């Protein structure tokens, strides 16, 4: 008695392609909730199933009122003689697995000659599958597509169902075997994958940056797949990534006999070639380094670069499973793709590429962490900007004045980029250290300016150097990890940094030892606070250790200082600072002096400001 209604249900479906509208009392049903099933019975007959929103069921002598979208027929459809309509809500159990794992989804295609007489199912996790013989499909009592789709948590998956089931994907391109694509799945972030198989409307994707569920089937026109086909070969498996440098060396040798100049492609397709200035020539044609009007860390995107987050440790559905590793190396965090399609996994590789192509960009514009958000972080109304540029053109970047509290401007002052003084100081440039490096001073052990910074730090018992010496590090190992790393200063150098100067032959913009002298590049704003007067803020995230600006002003004697207001005075006694016990306290407690450092630029001493603590 309990099975006949379901048999009638199948028979009705075969004849009319629609679901019956009535069910008798005690009909066996399956309650599906959180991927679990429970055998239940109808507690009362249903006369008009379509109008019912909730259905009364009985289980273990208790009555429950359940939304009908959670209820399914207890007997599967007869797949040999039944055609289930498109958009039908179903529960699926594969015949190819030993465990009876249930999956919920919608019918996307009915059997036809085009798909070899199979149903195509779109699952709630974004994957897809064609049915095979002996698969089990159970029909849901609720066949209202809109109501069923609203129960899916992921907004992107809901939109994906609407596009695919309502045929709104006509402009989506088709992918072929060996295409490399980006897929938004698992932790709701993009992952790189390669197409390894095609079956009618679905494609099989292999993920090289994941340790779990490395292969899945998806609909060709899924919104989870980015339309852009990305470069092959260098979105490689862990094995290929480990051998990437070896591959580059072999490729460079094999191509050196016949170098190819290629034109950068808009979609970053990769063609084997020897990188040269031609790779960035067109992409950087309109880029002006001395006029920055946007977040500096998005400048590479304006010059044809692309940026991807890479996660090798995500696992499961749409939630990221925490990694069991204590730390994740920076190689696992990001991937940059150059205008010529080359994939670069570390800032070292990017820095080498910038040197090789003679790019206008410098390494300081590239980020290597996930904490730095590239989208705007501070929202403000442009109508409250009272002055477009308080520097009056003295900086490469404008610093606007913003006041939403009133129409008052800050007190009049002279903005300067260099220390000014009426005092006379000797400025003998003949004794200045200078270099003749041609590699942007990347080989630090051969650069006199880098060596001077290093030697001064050793003379003043720099704590990091002392620690490295205890570990028997060589000078080359120590200097490569000291001071500026990719034009960021993550640890203060109290003895000062000797940057390359006007007498050096290295590149004035791309040299790895020229940072402070190239001035401000962050987007700053002078704004009025509610209770603290005027303040300075950055309009975007800044990577850890990035240079902000030089601390300059009028240089006066102590005698003059005693006659003035102490409000904005700073003591610049560099030598005594190094030798006092107070400096040791500063080293032990860096929080008190996170933003101060001293540098030697072109023979002159200058104080500058770095961000050495990230706050969200």
Query: Is 513 a residue whose pLDDT tops 80?
Result: yes
Domain count, the chain: 3
Predicted pLDDT of residue 62: 87
Query: Is 288 a residue whose pLDDT tops 70?
Result: yes
Q: Specify whether the backbone of 178 is left (phi greater than 0), alpha (psi in -120 to 50) or beta.
A: left
- pLDDT grade, residue 321 (50/70/90)? very low
Q: DSSP states of 574-599 as a string?
A: HHHHHHSHHHHHHHH-GGGGTTEEEE
- pLDDT grade, residue 227 (50/70/90)? low
With CA atoms as reference, report the closest residue to 545 among 493, 469, 605, 607.
493
Read off the pTM: 0.52
Residue 138: strand, helix, or coil: strand
Query: Is 27 a residue whose pLDDT tops 70?
Result: yes
Q: What share of the chain is helix, strand, coil (3-state, %, to 5)?
A: 25, 20, 55
Quick one: 259 and 334 in the same domain?
Answer: yes
- pLDDT grade, residue 106 (50/70/90)? very high
Mean pLDDT value across residues 449-454 = 92
User: Is 454 part of any domain?
Assistant: yes
- pLDDT grade, residue 18 (50/70/90)? low
Q: Which domain holds residue 42?
A: 4-163
| Domain final residue, candidates 141, 163, 185 | 163
Quick one: 348 and 415 in the same domain?
Answer: no
Query: Is 432 a residue whose pLDDT tops 80?
Result: yes
Query: Is 415 a residue whose pLDDT tops 80?
Result: yes
Quick one: 399 and 497 in the same domain?
Answer: yes
- pLDDT grade, residue 198 (50/70/90)? very high
| Domain final residue, candidates 103, 131, 163 | 163
Quick one: 580 and 501 in the same domain?
Answer: yes
Quick one: 501 and 599 in the same domain?
Answer: yes
What is the share, in percent, of the chain residues with pLDDT greater than 90? 19
Quick one: 356 and 393 in the same domain?
Answer: no
| Domain final residue, candidates 146, 163, 180 | 163
Predicted pLDDT of residue 433: 85
Q: What is the pLDDT of residues 367-378, one digit of tens each?
A: 987 778 888 888
Check: CB of residue 414 under 8 Å from CB of residue 484: no
Q: What is the pLDDT of residues 587-614, one digit of tens each?
A: 444 433 333 344 444 444 455 555 544 3
Query: Is 152 a residue whose pLDDT tops 90?
Result: no
β-bridge partners, 401? 387, 526
Q: What is the pLDDT of the chain when averaged over all its residues?
A: 77
User: Is 194 part of any domain?
Assistant: no
Quick one: 258 and 389 in the same domain?
Answer: no
For residue 471, the domain's CATH number is 2.170.270.10
Predicted pLDDT of residue 310: 61
Predicted pLDDT of residue 448: 92
Predicted pLDDT of residue 83: 86
User: Is 170 part of any domain?
Assistant: no
User: Is 147 part of any domain?
Assistant: yes
**Separation of alpha carbons 167 and 360, rounded Å:** 46
Query: Is 249 a residue whose pLDDT tops 50?
Result: no
Predicted pLDDT of residue 128: 94
Predicted pLDDT of residue 451: 93
User: Is 372 part of any domain?
Assistant: no
Quick one: 349 and 409 in the same domain?
Answer: no
Predicted pLDDT of residue 344: 86
Predicted pLDDT of residue 582: 43
Query: Is 282 a residue whose pLDDT tops 80?
Result: yes
Quick one: 338 and 426 in the same domain?
Answer: no
β-bridge partners, 68? none
Query: Is 59 a residue whose pLDDT tops 80?
Result: yes
Encode 452-513 in three state secondary structure. Answer: HHHHHHHHCCCHHHHHHHHCCCCHHHHHHCCCCCCCCCCCCCCCCEECCCCCCCCCCCCCCC
Quick one: 15 and 112 in the same domain?
Answer: yes
**Between 241 and 33, the higher pLDDT residue:** 33
Check: CB of residue 17 under 8 Å from CB of residue 143: no
Quick one: 399 and 297 in the same domain?
Answer: no
User: Is 118 part of any domain?
Assistant: yes
HSE of 313, CA atoms in CB hemisphere, 13 A: 12
**Between 312 and 26, the higher pLDDT residue:** 26
User: Is 55 part of any domain?
Assistant: yes
User: Is 197 part of any domain?
Assistant: no
Predicted pLDDT of residue 172: 62
Which of 173-187, 322-336, 408-422, 568-582 has the lowest average pLDDT? 322-336
Quick one: 356 and 388 in the same domain?
Answer: no
């Amino acid at each position: 008695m309990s099975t006949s209604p379901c048999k009638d249900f199948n028979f009705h479906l075969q004849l009319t392609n629609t679901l019956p509208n009535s069910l008798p009392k005690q009909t066996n049903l399956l309650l599906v909730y959180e991927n679990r099933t429970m055998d239940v019975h109808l507690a009362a007959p249903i006369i008009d199933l379509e109008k019912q929103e909730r259905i009364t069921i009985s289980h273990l002598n208790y009555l429950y009122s359940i939304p009908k979208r959670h209820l399914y027929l207890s007997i599967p459809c007869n797949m040999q003689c039944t055609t289930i309509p498109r958009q039908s809500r179903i529960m699926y159990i594969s015949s190819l697995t030993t465990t009876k794992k249930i999956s919920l989804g919608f019918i996307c295609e009915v059997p036809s000659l085009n798909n070899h007489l199979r149903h195509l199912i779109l699952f709630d996790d974004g994957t897809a599958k064609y049915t095979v013989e002996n698969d089990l499909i159970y029909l849901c009592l609720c066949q209202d597509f809109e109501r069923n789709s609203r129960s899916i948590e992921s907004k992107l998956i809901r939109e994906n169902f609407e596009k695919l089931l309502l045929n709104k994907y006509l402009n989506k391109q088709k992918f072929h075997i060996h295409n490399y694509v980006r897929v938004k799945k698992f932790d709701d972030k993009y992952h790189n994958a390669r197409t390894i198989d095609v079956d009618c409307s679905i494609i099989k994707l292999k993920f090289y940056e994941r340790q779990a569920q490395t292969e899945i089937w998806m609909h060709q026109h899924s919104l989870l797949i980015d339309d852009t086909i990305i470069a092959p070969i260098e979105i490689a498996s862990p094995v290929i990534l480990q051998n990437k440098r070896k591959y580059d060396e072999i490729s460079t040798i094999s191509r050196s006999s016949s170098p190819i100049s290629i034109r950068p492609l808009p979609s970053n397709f990769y063609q084997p070639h020897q990188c040269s200035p031609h790779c960035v020539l067109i992409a950087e044609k309109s880029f002006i380094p001395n006029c920055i009007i946007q977040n500096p860390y998005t400048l590479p995107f304006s010059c044809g670069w692309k940026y991807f987050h890479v996660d090798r440790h995500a696992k499961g559905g749409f939630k990221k499973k925490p990694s069991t590793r204590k730390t994740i190396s920076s190689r696992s965090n990001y991937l940059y793709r150059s205008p010529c399609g080359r994939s670069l996994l570390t800032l070292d590789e990017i820095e080498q590429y910038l040197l090789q192509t003679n790019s206008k960009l410098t390494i300081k514009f590239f980020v290597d962490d996930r904490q730095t958000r590239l989208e705007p972080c501070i929202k403000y109304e442009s109508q409250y900007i009272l002055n477009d540029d308080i520097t009056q053109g003295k900086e490469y970047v404008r610093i606007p004045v913003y006041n939403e509290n009133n129409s008052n401007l800050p007190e009049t002052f002279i903005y300067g980029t260099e220390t000014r003084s009426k005092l006379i100081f000797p400025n003998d440039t003949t004794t200045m250290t200078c270099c003749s490096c041609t590699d942007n001073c990347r080989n630090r052990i051969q650069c006199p300016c880098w060596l001077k910074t290093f030697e001064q730090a050793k003379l003043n018992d720099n704590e990091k150097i002392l620690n490295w010496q205890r570990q028997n590090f060589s000078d080359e190992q120590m200097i490569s990890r000291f001071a500026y790393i990719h034009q960021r200063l993550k640890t203060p150098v109290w003895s000062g940094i000797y940057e390359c100067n006007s007498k050096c032959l290295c590149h004035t913009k791309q040299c790895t030892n020229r940072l402070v002298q190239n001035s401000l590049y962050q987007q700053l704003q002078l704004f009025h606070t509610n209770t603290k007067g005027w303040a300075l803020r950055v309009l975007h995230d800044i990577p850890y250790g990035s240079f902000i600006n030089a601390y300059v002003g009028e240089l006066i004697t102590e005698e003059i200082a005693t006659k003035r207001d102490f409000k904005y005075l700073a003591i610049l006694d560099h030598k005594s600072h190094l030798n006092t016990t107070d400096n040791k306290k500063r080293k032990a407690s860096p929080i008190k002096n996170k933003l101060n450092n001293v540098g030697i630029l072109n023979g002159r001493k200058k104080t500058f400001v770095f961000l050495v603590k990230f706050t969200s």
